[in-house]
Structures are given as structure tokens and as C-alpha cells.
């Protein structure tokens, strides 16, 4: 068996297409991440009367959510909502800062808590997919690890379909994540407006901060989808090749023919 023509060329024996996809995805992720960090730094200079932790507590109470705890966690932009422990985890800078950036991030994470409370369908689907995604990621990492050390050629055999299947799962998860994240930002903006905080934050800045908070997941989804398409094309481009001599009517060898 062999892969489509040219599939094996490129750095480290991996096709050029792979590096183009990886490079494009990394560039897109870098641009979005850089914009998010730049916006966060900019909006971190604009003061607000309440801290991120206070914004989170206010938003949770206004939705009647009493069983979710707001806590501080280490790191920068490590903010997330944990539906199992029911905690809104805010990075130290967001938790303690009283700025537009901190308020936007805190409100976004509380948007997930509101989704959980209201049984938002996409969030429920995303949570159910987590164990499958973890398994698929571990399996794909193992296959890639073996491939790097030459234990099999990724272009040969059925193992490439294992990669395709794993990428299909992770891509589906990334796509399901998008409505969850953008809806969390939408819920956050609705509450910020109703609470009056959006006016203090200036609406356009609040909306922009929430938009970029969700956009980071777009890069991940595009990257995952691009890798899926790449490996699917490689898998479909494989063919069994057998070289046989073509004989004329007298039984003499006339030329070679390739049977697919």
C-alpha cells in the first residue's frame, strides 16, 4: 500500500500538506490569542467599581444560583467553570482586579453556570462528550507517538483510519463547544446591561472583550477540522498497488501496467 503521490515527501517524512495545515492553524491561533491578550491588557487599564469576584457573585445571585462557589486559581487567563464541582474558577488577576477586563471574563464564566442551571442543551451535549473525547485524544496521541518512532508508517494499513476517527470525535467536540462559548458571552452581555455595569464598562468595550473571550475556541475548532480533512484525504488517497507485466497476443511482455 502507499499514500497518494507526494504524500510522503516533506520534513521528517510527513507530507507538506500537514505542515501547511499545522502552520496555518498555529498562525491563526497566535493571532487570536495575541488579540485576546492585547484586549485584556488594554481593558485591564480601565477601572471599574467592582472586582471580578464581585461581578461573578452578583451575576450568580441575580440568577438565583446559590450552590456555585467563586474561587481564585493560579495562572493567567485560566478562568473556567467546573460543572462537576460547581465552581467558577477565576485567575488571580481576574478575581482581584476591578477592571473592565476582569468583569467581562468573570461574567462570561458565570454565563456557563447559568447554562448549567437552565440545562442548556449544547452544554449538556458537550459534557456527555468529554469522556469519549478524552479517550480519543489518548488513543490518537499513542498512535502518533508510535508513528514518530517509526513503529509503523502512518500512510500504511488501517491505523490512519484510527487517526481519522479520533479527529472526527475531537472536531465534533470543538464544534459543539462554539455555541456554548458564544452563548455564555451573550448571557454575560445581557446581564451586564441589565445590571447597569455595561454602561460603566462602555458597551462596545464589554461586547468586544466578550467576543474575544469566545473567539479563542474558533481557532481550536478550525485547526481540528483542518487536521481531520487532511488525514481523511490522505486515507482516501491510499490505494493498493500491484505491478504486473502486460503481455501482447503472443505472450510477450509489452509494457508494465499498474493495477489499483
Residues 6+ apart with CB under 8 A from 172: 129
Closest CA to 46 of 255, 196, 190, 202: 202
Residues annotated catalytic, as ranges? 109
- Which helix (H) or strand (E) covers residue 71, if one does? strand 69-73
Interior/surface letters 85-101, b for 16+ CB within 10 angstroms, e for the rest: eebbbbbebbbebebbb
C-alpha cell read off for 190: 445581557
Rg (CA), the chain: 25
Interior/surface letters 221-236, b for 16+ CB within 10 angstroms, e for the rest: bbbbbbbbebbbebbe
d(CA 196, CA 79): 23
| Residue 25 near residue 226 (C-beta atoms within 8 A) | yes
Q: How far is CA 176 from the centre of its chain?
A: 10
Amino acid at each position: 500500500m502507499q499514500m497518494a503521490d507526494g504524500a510522503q515527501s516533506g520534513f521528517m517524512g510527513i507530507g507538506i500538506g500537514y505542515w501547511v495545515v499545522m502552520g496555518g492553524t498555529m498562525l491563526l491561533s497566535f493571532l487570536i490569542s495575541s488579540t485576546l491578550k492585547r484586549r485584556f491588557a488594554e481593558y485591564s487599564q480601565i477601572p471599574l467599581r467592582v472586582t471580578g469576584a464581585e461581578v461573578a457573585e452578583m451575576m450568580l445571585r441575580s440568577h438565583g444560583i446559590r450552590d456555585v462557589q467563586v474561587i481564585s486559581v493560579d495562572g493567567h487567563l485560566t478562568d473556567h467553570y467546573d460543572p462537576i464541582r460547581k465552581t467558577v474558577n477565576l485567575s488571580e488577576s481576574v478575581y482581584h482586579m476591578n477592571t473592565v477586563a476582569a468583569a467581562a471574563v468573570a461574567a462570561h464564566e458565570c454565563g456557563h453556570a447559568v447554562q448549567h442551571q437552565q440545562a442548556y442543551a449544547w452544554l449538556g451535549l458537550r459534557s456527555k462528550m468529554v469522556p469519549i473525547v478524552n479517550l480519543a485524544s489518548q488513543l490518537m496521541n499513542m498512535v502518533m507517538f508510535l508513528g514518530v518512532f517509526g513503529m509503523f508508517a502512518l500512510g500504511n494499513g488501517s491505523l490512519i483510519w484510527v487517526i481519522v476517527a479520533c479527529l472526527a470525535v475531537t472536531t465534533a467536540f470543538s464544534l459543539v463547544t462554539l455555541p456554548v462559548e458564544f452563548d455564555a458571552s451573550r448571557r454575560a452581555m445581557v446581564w451586564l446591561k441589565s445590571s447597569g455595569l455595561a454602561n460603566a464598562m462602555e458597551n462596545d468595550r464589554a461586547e468586544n472583550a466578550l467576543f474575544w473571550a469566545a473567539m479563542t475556541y474558533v481557532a481550536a475548532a478550525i485547526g481540528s477540522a483542518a487536521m481531520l480533512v487532511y488525514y481523511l484525504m490522505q486515507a482516501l488517497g491510499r490505494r493498493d498497488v500491484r505491478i504486473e507485466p502486460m503481455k501482447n497476443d503472443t505472450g510477450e511482455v509489452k509494457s508494465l501496467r499498474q493495477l489499483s
